[in-house]
Amino acid sequence: MMISKTKVALGALLAIGALASVPAHAGATLDKIKKNGQVVCGVNTGLAGFSQADASGNWTGLDVDICKAIAAAVLGDANKVKWVPLNAQQRFTALQSGEVDILSRNTTFSLTRDASLGLHVTGVTYYDGQGFMVTTKSKIKDAKQLKGQTVCVQSGTTTEKNLTDFSKANGLGIKPVVFEKVEAATGAYFSGRCVAYTTDASGLASVRNKEAKNSDDHVILPQLISKEPLGPMVRRGDDEWFAIAKWVIHGLLEAEEYGVTQANVDQQKSSQDPVVQRILGTTEDTGKLLGLDKEWMARALKATGNYGEIFERNVGPKSALKLPRGANNLWNKGGLMYAYPVR
């Protein structure tokens, strides 16, 4: 029996259309989260601006807010998060073993980590680069002036490898002084054991603000020696949970681009802009494709605000760190932040 090419093509298109509208089946991670009533989020043990607990155990920071937004989207409550502080050596094992549901801990995504750890990066939430901090009295103005000098660095990080690569490529003979815990590395630097301390530039600003007796006594050198795309990670093997985490991040970015803020979510529900309508679920129900309801993104935005608001209060102008948006600005404002369309 002969079947025309037109009929075959039409059948294929219909099949694709049917698949596109099929609601997602909740994965094992989401099932566990709903059963336990909490998202278990792995965070830094204490990095101002990104994840830090106060004396009462209340966590704040850019990485923290990402987990809060996800909890609000999934469970309807940004406070339904269990925080698990992890050092650099613990973080990947905790995620691989299922101890945490998501790792939102200023972690760089690289080929080695992608190919060997069994993890997915959900999205970049901060574009960073590795730098150096020295004392002003050292008179060092350029990273290449660190030839033959001691540099404090934390082990088990891309930072340690980048330092070795930079030293070798430039024939500097830098002497790494390696510590397992970041507190030990920074403590050694501030006590004068090392000429410099190296980590991501955002981390340098955080450490200087938090630990230096006088921040003016320390300068962050202008050169960056690496690219450090930081973002939350999840385990491979649960595509449904991966999709939820990824799309909350892109929703936060797209909301900023279209002017949806923490304060105007309800007002924007009457917007006639189709993009805003999709973000807030007033027309198309994108939530069903993720195994969620149509209000998923509206809840996330009410809990944390959009990406720009998260950045501003934690690491930007309204924070103690006062970091510029730079590469973390939206794509249409000279930055690298480009949201996948929520449609």
Q: Which domains does the chain have, with CATH numbers?
A: 28-127+230-333 (3.40.190.10), 130-226 (3.40.190.10)
User: What pLDDT, in 10s, does the model give residues 32-56?
Assistant: 999 999 999 999 999 999 999 999 9
pLDDT(6) > 90: no
User: What pLDDT, in 10s, does the model give residues 179-225?
Assistant: 999 999 999 999 999 999 999 999 999 999 999 999 999 999 999 99
Which pLDDT does position 24 carry in this prediction?
57
3-state secondary structure the chain: CCCCHHHHHHHHHHHHHHHHCCCCCCCHHHHHHHHHCCEEEEEECCECCCEEECCCCCEECHHHHHHHHHHHHHHCCCCCEEEEEECCCCHHHHHHCCCCCEECCCCECCHHHHHHCCEEECCCCEEECEEEEEEHHHCCCCHHHHCCCEEEEECCCHHHHHHHHHHHHCCCCCEEEEECCHHHHHHHHHCCCCCEEEEEHHHHHHHHHHHCCCHHHEEECCCCCCCEEECCEEECCCHHHHHHHHHHHHHHHHHHHCCCCCCCHHHHCCCCCHHHHHHHCCCCCCHHHHCCCCCHHHHHHHHHCCHHHHHHHHCCCCCCCCCCCHHHCEHHHCCCECCCCCC
Which pLDDT does position 22 carry in this prediction?
52
pLDDT(17) > 80: no
Which range among 103-107, 153-157, 281-285 shows the weakest confidence by mean pLDDT? Answer: 153-157
User: What pLDDT, in 10s, does the model give residues 115-174?
Assistant: 999 999 999 999 999 999 999 999 999 999 999 999 999 998 899 999 999 999 999 999
Instruction: Provide the whole-model pTM.
Output: 0.89
pLDDT(318) > 80: yes
Which pLDDT does position 100 carry in this prediction?
98
Q: How confident is the model at residue 23 (pLDDT cuts 50, 70, 90)?
A: low
pLDDT(1) > 60: no
